[in-house]
A and B are shown apart, each in its own frame.
Chain A
Amino acid sequence: MSPKAVKGGVALSFLIVLFSISIPISAQDSNSSLSGAITGAAGAAVPNAKVAVKNLATGQSTETQTDSAGRYNVPNLMPGDYELAVSAEGYSTNTVKVTVAPGAGKTADVTLAGVLSLQDLGISSGQAQGTAADQARLDKRSHMLKLHQRFGLIAAVPMIASVATSFGAGGRSTSTADRWTHLALGSATGDLYFMSAYFAIRAPRIPGTQSRGPIRVHKALAWIHGPGMILTPILGAIAFDQKSKGEKVHGIASAHGAVAIVTAAAYAASIVSVSFKF
């Protein structure tokens, strides 16, 4: 055999060996796949959607279409990072990034949004989105009004007791203990009342809103029980002083009882106005 023939045979053998090694390696590299379902916003399958799969490393692109069930399958992919772009008539295009592992099948379901947007309805992005600051203001308002409600309801308890003990405090034959009990209950009522009023007055206002409905009655009644809760203890202090000196309650102090009753009645009406529907 000539040297040329020997060299040719060696080269050919080398190529055969090289080729037989390379085949299984490339087959291993491209047996990954990407599949999934394409659906619309309401969950319906999107048939005939165009699915473009682009290898981000090589730039190579493969296209397919979804079947009647909205499913797609792209076999024989090299492992790596891909960009999956899905488009269909009547839908806006959606693009997602996926990573395909070697020798594995990757599932990527994509949802397509309808072509309509809020701008199509004449709603600007400013109108469509609120702010955390607006929500925080609402949260603070609700929190303070809840405290207003709780202190207000609690204040009703010593107020009722104070009215009940008033008969023993102001009559002809009353004891010091009765008067002190009435005074203590009245003081507790006043403390709780003004704490409740603080939270109502200081609760943040929400711009662009107007009072409507029973809350207007609730706020209007405050103009009766508010001044009443200031006047009642003043008149009560004068009456207490007169009784302590052994005198009969007289003069302006004699209005203490009437003012207190009107105040308590307005307060009760205020609670009822926002508790029940009329």
Chain B
Amino acid sequence: MNKKFILAILLLTFPRLVAADSQWILEESTLTYHVSHPLKQTEGVSHAAKGKGVCHAGQCDFLIAVPVKSFDSGDSNRDLHMLQVVRGGQFPLITVRTHLPEDASSLATIQADLEVQFAGQTMQYKLIAFQHVTKGSDTLITGTIPLTLSDFKIDPPTLLALPVKNDVPVRVEMKWRPM
């Protein structure tokens, strides 16, 4: 009885003695895609990503989702055409999943394997480098995902009969906060 009482007091006083789950929430994000065409360069920006991370036993799972139609290139006609080309009517979300060791939060550069679902296709991207900076309780993550149209079986759109380039890198800037 005394031993159980003492153990309970210890657990209440020092919660880190037991393995604790932790969770992360995506507070702010800026995702920017870049499309190259011989006549012009175009960027589309979204601030509408939602994300969550769950850490358990030293391993963390992250899920980020962003609506395709939230990307704004400054021209609604172009954005609607983009939505049609990437089959956004049928697959309205881009999702990114990754699995990281919890101690990755101590590294300045995080190498992550990403599973990206987009336009009805799933693609794995290995060892994508993200820069990691901690500011107070917030964690800032920045990096670029080297997305290509052919990865997701997207026909490159054309302007005046000239197609855009296959490479469509997506720059990611995220601010994560522990819950």
User: Interface on A for B, CB 8 Å cutoff?
Assistant: 40-44, 89-90, 114-118, 120-123, 127-139, 141-142, 145, 153, 206, 209-215, 218, 274-277
Are A135 and B93 within 8 A (Cβ)?
no
B152 contacts A by Cβ under 8 Å: no
Question: Is the Cβ of A42 less than 8 Å from the Cβ of B99?
Answer: yes
Whether A118 contacts B65 by the Cβ 8 Å rule is yes
Q: Can you report 16 residue pairs joining A to B where beta carbons are below 8 Å apart?
A: A41-B61, A114-B61, A114-B63, A120-B63, A122-B50, A123-B50, A127-B93, A131-B89, A132-B90, A133-B89, A139-B89, A206-B80, A212-B75, A215-B78, A276-B40, A277-B40
Asked if B54 lies at the interface with its beta carbon under 8 angstroms from chain A, I say yes
User: Contact: B77 with A274, CB < 8 Å?
Assistant: yes
Which of chain B's residues 64-97 have a Cβ closer than 8 Å to chain A?
65, 67, 72-81, 83-85, 87-93, 95, 97
Q: Which residue of B lies closest to A137 (CB)?
A: B89
CB within 8 Å for A127 and B40 given contacts A121-B52, A275-B160: no
| Inter-chain contact A213/B99, CB cutoff 8 Å | no
- A123, A138, A142, A214: which contacts B65 (Cβ < 8 A)? A123
Evaluate contact between A128 and B93: CB separation under 8 angstroms: yes
Is B90 a contact partner of A134 (Cβ separation < 8 A)?
yes
Q: Of A89, A129, A153, A215, which contacts B77 at CB under 8 A?
A: A215
Does B91 lie within 8 Å of A42, measured CB to CB?
A: no
Using Cβ atoms and an 8 Å threshold, which residues of chain A touch B150?
none
- The answer to whether A42 and B115 touch (CB under 8 A), given A90-B61, A211-B76, is yes
Residues of A within 8 A of B54 (CB): 90, 114-116
Identify B89's interface contact among A117, A138, A276, CB under 8 A: A138
Pair B76/A120 contact, Cβ less than 8 Å = no
| Given A42-B99, A139-B84, A209-B80: A115 and B61 interface contact (C-beta under 8 Å) | yes
Asked if B76 contacts A213 (CB within 8 A), the reply is: yes
Contact B92–A130 (Cβ < 8 Å): yes
Chain A residue at minimum C-beta to C-beta distance from B101:
A44
In the complex, A209 Cα to B88 Cα: how many Å? 14
B78 touches A131 (CB 8 A): no
With beta carbons under 8 angstroms apart, the residue of A44, A133, A141, A215 that contacts B113 is A44
Known contacts A121-B51, A138-B84; is A210 also within 8 Å of B76 by CB? yes
Chain A residues contacting B88 (CB-CB under 8 Å) are 130, 135, 138
CB distance from B44 to the nearest CB of A (A): 11
Closest to A129 in B: B92
Q: Is the CB of A90 within 8 A of B57?
A: yes
Q: How far is it, in angstroms, between the C-alpha of A141 and the C-alpha of B78 when the chains are bound?
A: 12
Query: From residue A176, how far is it (CB to closest CB) to chain B in Å?
Result: 38
* Chain A residue nearest in CB terms to B98: A42
Is B30 close to A, CB under 8 A?
A: no
Find chain A residues with CB under 8 A from B83 CB. Answer: 138, 206
**Cβ distance A28 to chain B, nearest Cβ, rounded Å:** 41
Q: In the complex, which residues of chain B have a beta carbon less than 8 angstroms from the beta carbon of A42? A: 97-99, 112-115, 124
